[in-house]
Amino acid sequence: MLNNTWTIKSALEWTEGYLAEKGDENPRLSAQWLLSEATGLSRTHLFVNFDRPLSEEERGVLRGFVRRRGAGEPLQYITGEVAFRHITVKVRPGVLIPRPETEVLVSEVLAALPAPGKREARWSTEAAEQEREAVEAVKKALEEAGVASGASVGGLAAGGLKPASTKGVADRPALADGSATAGDGDVADRPVGDGFRRPASAEDAEGDAPARPLLLADLCTGSGCIACSLAFEHPDARVIATDIAPEAVALARENIEALGLSDRVAVLQCSLGSGIGEKRLGTFDAVVSNPPYVPAEVMAALPAEVADFEPALALDGGADGLDLFRPLVAWAARALKPGGVLACELHEGHMDAARAVAEAAGFADCRIVDDLTGRPRVLVGRKPPAR
């Protein structure tokens, strides 16, 4: 492919030229990303290591990457991950690639939710007793060595220790990792031991901060980027995510586990909210979704990079892009508590029609938010407060 003096500089130049011939819209950027992934170097470090030769293994990896990119495969599928807000999520063929405009959807939901509750340090009887015993043991050893008993130990006098804080979560039920599928029941409805975590002690239950848990539903979760971001950025959020595609459910669970969010995000395989238990209806603080919304006429004109590689199931929204949105809104109207928030990403050409659907379902204060490119993209509304 290249001569024996295949350096980072020559590899970048060759890859850029090859991808340009294959019709890549931004061959230079693609070359940088692929070489960065093949070598493990950041894009910045590539430019300060131009003369570094590539190993045989790196050359082989890069060849495979270049072939795939030359065939039109999205960069994100090749590298296997994508940055999304403050997290990085895994992506792979069969599941929709997260887009920057969806970050706006997450921003709108976070802005509409109550701020995280204050967390205060509380006295833990068990921890304080352990510290007291440890101090007493050190004092005894010092006394036996002939040191005055009133001396401080490591800067902490016997009576100067602060009570240990606790972080119990007794009144904030933590969802299980979502091993259930549609028909297995709502993970939030499971008994202790199969969906909720019991506090380690009574002190934990008493010492929890005065923070109210927020229950959110993320429908059509795909990679789980929305559910994970909401839980990552809002400590009081508990998210039930759903998707009908088994590939998406499996990937979302991997991302949840990798980000350490298994105690606060669960995934169900079902259509929209059909797998969520009836007794949960009326308890959600927010319903958020990036459903399939591309209108049929737009589907026919999608770029090959999208049409040939990303799943049509996650894109096709029917004639007007609202085929999934209509039943989604009907379910959200039942699922949300009074004052709860509905937020959906939708096609720019059908936002007014979507707002009419939401208002007909009883939602108030409906507004349309532009994405990062200035196109109308996100619909936000609220379920009216109870009278």
Q: What is the mean pLDDT of residues 338-351?
A: 97
DSSP 8-state assignment for residue 17 = H
Q: How would DSSP label each residue in 122-161?
A: ---HHHHHHHHHHHHHHHHHHHHTT--TTS-BTTB-TT-P
Structural domain containing residue 53: 8-72
Q: How many domains does the chain have?
A: 3
pLDDT in tens, 271-298: 999 999 999 999 999 999 999 999 999 9
Binding residues for S-adenosyl-L-methionine: 243, 290
| Binding site residue list | 243, 290-293
What CA–CA distance (Å, rounded) separates 344 from 327? 13
CB distance 362 to 382 below 8 Å: no
Q: Is the domain of 328 the same as that of 187?
A: yes
Give the DSSP letter of residue 78: H
One domain, residues 224 and 302: yes
- The pLDDT confidence band at residue 168, using thresholds 50, 70 and 90, is very low
Give the CA distances from residue 316 to residues 274, 294, 312, 323, in Å, rounded to whole numbers and listed in that order: 20, 5, 6, 9
What's the one-letter identity of residue 279? K
pLDDT at 229 > cutoff 80: yes
Does 334 lie in the same domain as 292?
yes
Share of the chain above pLDDT 90, in %: 69
Shared domain check, 214 and 189: yes
Phi, psi at residue 7, to the nearest 5°? -95, 175
pTM of the shown model: 0.75
Considering the domain architecture, whether residues 133 and 270 belong to the same structural domain is answered as no
**Distances in Å between the alpha carbon of 232 and those of 208, 209, 247, 312?**
19, 18, 23, 29
Look up residue 380 and give its amino acid. V
Is there a single domain that holds both residue 147 and residue 181?
no
Place 387 in a pLDDT band, splitting at 50, 70 and 90: confident
Within this chain, do residues 60 and 157 fall inside the same structural domain, yes or no?
Answer: no
111 in a domain, yes or no? Answer: yes
Q: Is residue 2 part of a domain?
A: no
Query: How many contiguous H segments (helices) and E segments (strands) does the chain have?
Result: 14, 9
pLDDT at 2: 44
pLDDT at 377 over 60: yes
Kindly compute the dihedral angle of the four CA atoms of residues 58, 60, 64, 70, in this order, to the nearest 10 degrees.
80
Instruction: Of 45-54, 60-69, 200-209, give the lowest mean pLDDT range.
Output: 200-209
pLDDT tens digits, 110-131:
999 998 876 544 445 555 566 5
Binding site as annotated, residues for substrate: 290-293
